Structure 1
Amino acid sequence: MKTVHVNGPVPYPIHIGPGLLDDGQRLAARVRGRHLLLVSDTNVAPRYAARVRDALLGARPDLQIGQYLLPAGESSKTIEQFAAVIAALADLGASRDACVVALGGGVVGDLAGFAAACWMRGVDCVQLPTTLLSMVDSSVGGKTAVDIAQGKNLVGAFHPPRAVLADTGVLATLPLREVRAGLAEVIKYGALGDAAFFDWLGEHQRALLDGDADALAEAIARSCQHKADIVERDPLERGERALLNLGHTFGHAIETEQGYGHPDNDNLNHGEAVAVGMVLAAELSTRLGMAPAQDVQALRGLLAGFGLPVTVPAGLDPQALLARMRLDKKNIAGRLRLVLWRGIGQALVVPDVDEDQVLAVLRAACGRH
């Protein structure tokens, strides 16, 4: 097992390795009271919820465990589902020392974490991420949120978990598309601040796609360490932490414009949208004279090599995407504030980006269809 420690005002460990969902002692050690709400979804719960429940009760027979299941998919990350989790906490009689355990991917983690942040002004949350993407991104750092029609993650709170337990054994059952989506976020860490890791990913591409346990554990640990280091220095995203959003402003605009959880399988999931968003951010950086064009090609090549999309989906309107980007949380005084780069491993936050230049990049990208 690998362990990454997130220090700062609210320290917590990230444990990475196989078998953690069955480690009742480690799970129960983070539960202070006797009320526990297990939040999961209709895809994950049938596989793993009973295991987690049995492990917890084996270590703490006194626990009163409630359960709430979301319909699987991004379309469940809503204020209505948030209210349902709050109601489940009330039905459980959850007290101030209660714990919310989030068992699932990013949707479950974000929603359960937000409910934990709000119930009685904040109770404990333990994250049990079950996708590669949530292991390297959403479960770490304490960002919690729900989506609204106008944009992703616009309603939420910072609420660090008590612990993150990433059981790498569950990745063996993850569909390849979901593995690739997670690898987009892994690639992001190399692109924004670690050129050597970027190169390592290219060298280990086959092993990662084949599900090699050692390669995946290394990629997860290095990604979590990168995020932990940044979160320690900037827990509330008042500066450096915004770098973790490389590709996300463009990517969120694509996700929102396509519609959350639309049944059309051609719609991009979060990791795929971030992959396209990183390419757009790199292209804009080159257009602004900040970065060499060959680095855009290197990024596009690495993403494509992992089977990730690198072009804007057909049918999207550049003006509509720009309108979505105007609602991004990083913007200040109505002006676009984007994460761009000077090349591989050299991301930076750029305030007051010229909308005409952004629109030109979007038009070129949408025009390729």
Structure 2
Amino acid sequence: MTKTSPIHGATKATVHVPLDSRAYDVRIGTGLIASAGAQILPLLRRPKVAVVTDENVASLHLDALRAGLAADSVEMTSLELPAGESTKSWPHLSKTVEWLLDQKVERGDVVVAFGGGVIGDLVGFAAAILRRGVRFVQIPTSLLAQVDSSVGGKTGINAPHGKNLIGAFHQPSLVLADVGVLGTLQSRDFLAGYGEVVKYGLLGSAAFFEWLEENAPAMAAGDVDLRIEAVRRSVQMKADIVVRDETEQGDRALLNLGHTFCHALETATDYASDRLLHGEGVAIGCALAFEASMRLGLCAQEAPSRVRAHLRAMGMKVDLRDIDGELPSTDALIDLMSQDKKVIDGQLRFIMARGIGEAFVTTDVPVDVVRSVLEDAR
């Protein structure tokens, strides 16, 4: 269920994720960090939280969060980790868990993940394994985290073998998506997050994709109302899928549109953000998935052209040649795909499309087609 009401001249929205005893709200709007104390206090047994963030977010927003919590007499301690995908690793997970234990975080306490997708995934996993599970709140500060990684309970870290291969399902108790902080993102980071936004239209809603074709340029330029609506629609689509398939036994795999290509590319670039951000990899992966779908005769030739045209118009990467530096051979990339956690009984699942808004899961994708799509994208 989605509710809207006015706030500070814009709108706010709440998307409820009804997972029985694990149900929670995703609140979207402006001023949510300033009111964090009032938002989180009902969850607390004692007025204290442990906040984990990264150095970039801390320098921009940690004082605001501290003030927002203090306004309702909620005390906070904080740990700052390095920014970047490489933080999703065993050493930083260990550091986070041990710090939380040093803070004497109890089972009845709340841990706060304050940052982008890397922090959300890492801290969520730490909360899942600390004392066999403590509650946590997501306060996502990037567009990518607000529309995707903060919702749905997937937590984890990366391995040398591939992305997100170590983790757990652990739902947050609350998500506060303050779109006001998006104004501090660099253009590249915002557009990387947009890769996940456009994914939702491509996988399940032609109407949303059309809305994005019309409104995404103004949204990227800073229109707050459009940002709230884009986040709301993305979160609602994800929530609906998560409720149907919380642990990815079926429909939830659709959310991985573009990710089989993306994760291989991220592994191939050593998770180096200067070469490839996650959302950039998703955008490339979506373009490649639609190209493969067209070559298999699943969708019209116009579909991948339209996808590429929109991504290009937004200033995004769409091909392997858009990634700086050398990449492994095509066969090496295909081998990296075989490490993907979507492999079942040795068969790699792809999310293909019959058209914009009509994605489906299949294992029936000949490797020669994948090879030709990758080769032509170089």
Question: Under a length normalisation based on structure 2, what TM-score does the superposition of the two structures give?
Answer: 0.93
Gaps of 5+ in 2: 1-11
Question: Which of 240, 260, 263 is the equivalent residue of 1:249?
Answer: 260
The residue number in structure 2 matching 1:131 is 142
* 8 Å Cα contact 1:322/1:359 also seen in 2: yes
Superposition deviation, residue 33 in structure 1: 4.1
Superposition deviation, residue 29 in structure 1: 2.2
Alignment partner of 1:85 is 2:96? yes
Cα deviation per residue 1:203-252 (whole Å; 9 max; x = unaligned)? 11321121100111110100000001001111111100000010011011
* 8 Å Cα contact 1:38/1:102 also seen in 2: yes
Superposition deviation, residue 364 in structure 1: 2.1
Gaps of 5+ in 1: none
For residues 214 and 358 of structure 1, the distance between their equivalents in structure 2, rounded to whole angstroms, comes to: 40
Question: Which of 151, 168, 177 is the equivalent residue of 1:157?
Answer: 168
Alignment partner of 1:180 is 2:188? no
* 8 Å Cα contact 1:336/1:355 also seen in 2: no
Question: Which of 340, 351, 356 is the equivalent residue of 1:344?
Answer: 356
* 8 Å Cα contact 1:154/1:329 also seen in 2: yes
Question: Which of 44, 49, 60 is the equivalent residue of 2:73?
Answer: 60
Alignment partner of 1:167 is 2:141? no
For residues 213 and 58 of structure 1, the distance between their equivalents in structure 2, rounded to whole angstroms, comes to: 25
The residue number in structure 1 matching 2:42 is 29
Question: Which of 333, 336, 349 is the equivalent residue of 1:324?
Answer: 336
* 8 Å Cα contact 1:253/1:321 also seen in 2: yes
Structure 1 residues 303 and 57: CA distance shift in structure 2, 3 A: same
The residue number in structure 2 matching 1:206 is 217
Superposition deviation, residue 354 in structure 1: 2.3
Task: Determine helix, strand or coil for the equivalent of 2:56.
Answer: coil
Higher mean C-alpha displacement, 344-353 vs 48-57: 48-57
Amino acid at match of 2:55: T
Question: Which of 335, 341, 346 is the equivalent residue of 2:347?
Answer: 335
* 8 Å Cα contact 2:41/2:47 also seen in 1: no
Superposition deviation, residue 34 in structure 1: 4.8
Superposition deviation, residue 271 in structure 1: 0.7
For residues 292 and 212 of structure 1, the distance between their equivalents in structure 2, rounded to whole angstroms, comes to: 33
* 8 Å Cα contact 2:24/2:172 also seen in 1: yes
The residue number in structure 2 matching 1:278 is 286
The residue number in structure 1 matching 2:365 is 353
The residue number in structure 2 matching 1:239 is 250
Task: Determine helix, strand or coil for the equivalent of 2:28.
Answer: strand
Task: Determine helix, strand or coil for the equivalent of 2:284.
Answer: helix
Superposition deviation, residue 67 in structure 1: 1.4
Question: Which of 60, 76, 81 is the equivalent residue of 1:47?
Answer: 60
Question: Which of 220, 226, 239 is the equivalent residue of 2:237?
Answer: 226
The residue number in structure 2 matching 1:107 is 118
For residues 356 and 31 of structure 1, the distance between their equivalents in structure 2, rounded to whole angstroms, comes to: 55
* 8 Å Cα contact 2:254/2:359 also seen in 1: yes
* 8 Å Cα contact 1:35/1:97 also seen in 2: no
The root-mean-square deviation of aligned C-alpha atoms, in Å, is 1.3
Count of residue pairs brought into register by the alignment: 361
For residues 208 and 92 of structure 2, the distance between their equivalents in structure 1, rounded to whole angstroms, comes to: 38
The residue number in structure 1 matching 2:4 is none
Alignment partner of 1:190 is 2:201? yes
Task: Determine helix, strand or coil for the equivalent of 1:141.
Answer: coil
Alignment partner of 1:303 is 2:335? no
The residue number in structure 2 matching 1:289 is 297
Superposition deviation, residue 54 in structure 1: 2.7
* 8 Å Cα contact 1:30/1:126 also seen in 2: no
Superposition deviation, residue 95 in structure 1: 1.0
For residues 248 and 348 of structure 2, the distance between their equivalents in structure 1, rounded to whole angstroms, comes to: 16
Task: Determine helix, strand or coil for the equivalent of 2:317.
Answer: coil
Task: Determine helix, strand or coil for the equivalent of 2:341.
Answer: coil
For residues 327 and 68 of structure 1, the distance between their equivalents in structure 2, rounded to whole angstroms, comes to: 32
* 8 Å Cα contact 1:132/1:183 also seen in 2: yes
* 8 Å Cα contact 1:335/1:353 also seen in 2: no
For residues 311 and 288 of structure 1, the distance between their equivalents in structure 2, rounded to whole angstroms, comes to: 19
For residues 145 and 44 of structure 2, the distance between their equivalents in structure 1, rounded to whole angstroms, comes to: 21
Structure 1 residues 192 and 27: CA distance shift in structure 2, 3 A: same
Task: Determine helix, strand or coil for the equivalent of 2:69.
Answer: helix
The residue number in structure 2 matching 1:2 is 13
Determine what percentage of the aligned residue pairs are the same residue: 47
The residue number in structure 1 matching 2:23 is 11
